[in-house]
Amino acid sequence: MAYSDSVYSGELIVTWAEVHRDAKLLVRRLLPMAKWTGIVAISRGGLVPAAILAREMEIRVVDTICISTYEDKTRGDVNMLKLPERACADEGRGWLVVDDLVDTGVTMRAARNLLPQAYVATVYAKPSGKPFVDTYVHEVAQSTWIHFPWDTDVQVTAPLARG
């Protein structure tokens, strides 16, 4: 892969295999920490990493917090669409909140306000969002746009020699 734990900038296309590998790296950091009540995935980006974490950590209780802040590449208002009722009742105590990426921290700030006692983990973190997470796997530059496999499509292209 073209990036490591150092900062990567530009556009980054992440494959399914890379997401799986990086989520398992996150599991290795989280396993020794606690016996979690459950996982709260931030929808939609956190759904795939949360599923991998749930499987690898043998966690059966998985819920979602559905927060909308983007429309394509345009940032909008924070819109809470669904709350994780059981985790909210505990203020997140014992819960692991998972997302694919923390960017500016707007979404994560909203999740943290709702679940102040939760432990927050992401696969990728940008500098502005790092203060809102407890752990992450890779840091990328603030200007990097990450293309996740669930947002892209494989298509046939002409050979480069054909221009």
What's the pLDDT score for residue 1? 36
Residue whose C-alpha is closest to residue 121's, from 144, 139, 105, 137: 137
Q: 56 pLDDT exceeds 90?
A: yes
Between 27 and 10, the more confident residue is 27
For the chain, the domains span 33-38+54-152
Peptide bond into 29 cis (omega under 30): no
44-53 pLDDT, tens per residue? 999 999 999 9
Active site residue 100: yes
CATH topology of domain 33-38+54-152: Rossmann fold (3.40.50)
pLDDT for res 154 = 78
Looking at residues 113-127, what average pLDDT do you find? 97
Q: Which residue is catalytic, options 63, 77, 90, 103?
A: 103
Say if residue 152's pLDDT is above 90.
Answer: no
Average pLDDT over residues 21-42: 96
Q: What is the distance between the alpha carbons of residues 31 and 57, in angstroms, rounded to a whole number? A: 7
pLDDT for residue 155: 77
Q: Which of 39, 44, 45 is nearest to 60 (CA)?
A: 39
| Annotation marks residue 103 as catalytic | yes
Identified catalytic residue from 63, 72, 100, 151 = 100
